[in-house]
Amino acid sequence: MPKPSFNSRIESEFLTSAPNLSKCPEPKLSEVAFAGRSNAGKSSVLNQITGNKSLAKVSKTPGRTQMLNFFESKAGGYLVDLPGYGYAKTSKSDQIAWQKSVNEYLSFRETLRALVLVMDIRRPNQEYDQELINWAKESDLTLHILLNKSDKIGTNKKLDALRKTQLEYKHWSNVSIQTFSALKGDGRGELINKILYWFGDPVTTSS
């Protein structure tokens, strides 16, 4: 598969929102899910790689993404925006319900190929991040850690953060890590290439 140029994008359009696993679309295409704290810039990452600034709503109030949002790609797969966590100004019961739907999706969605975990490069590996990372490890799920907002720090600090994170997960065979800037597009080609690779993974279901 040829590597995409910097100007490449994964053209996608909104398909549907699902409150839980049972309401998700028919599992017929490979899926790549995006997760992260509500202020990590997850929606901005999706907008950057699709070339559509309004694809995923970027709210001034983090935590507005309360459902599993599916976007169908012209590349032949689904991008799935999972509910944000760790900062949402919502009731405890709502947060528990969202977490249950995410856990069910990550555990039982047959067509899920990889999870992209978006973290703020200035504040990586916080409590909820670690919980999701451990969940991915126990589920043997391919994990790609995206150290977003790299434009907020200098080059040396960016490289230090990358090396530190790589060292922390060097013994994990199914984890990859990169820096990214949703604002400037740095790292965009690398992420797109990985997503296209995952989309190419054949779909097999039990049905």
- Assign residue 93 the CATH number of its domain: 3.40.50.300
Q: Is residue 207 part of a domain?
A: no
Give the domain extent around 100.
Answer: 12-199
Q: Is residue 7 part of a domain?
A: no
**Coil, helix or strand at residue 188:** helix
Q: Are 161 and 147 in contact (CB under 8 A)?
A: yes
Decide if pLDDT at 181 tops 90: yes
Decide if pLDDT at 130 tops 90: no
Q: Is residue 6 part of a domain?
A: no
The per-residue pLDDT for range 48-59, each reduced to its tens digit, is 999 998 887 754
Which of 23-37, 128-142, 193-207 is predicted most confidently? 23-37
pLDDT at 187: 96
Decide if pLDDT at 6 tops 70: no
Q: Is residue 75 part of a domain?
A: yes
Decide if pLDDT at 207 tops 50: no
Mean pLDDT score, 71-91: 83
Q: Is residue 204 part of a domain?
A: no
Q: Is residue 1 part of a domain?
A: no
Containing H/E element for 177? Answer: strand 175-179
Q: Alpha helices, DSSP H only, in the chain?
A: 42-50, 92-108, 127-138, 155-168, 188-199
Q: Based on the structure, what is the number of domains in the chain? A: 1
pTM, rounded to two decimals: 0.88
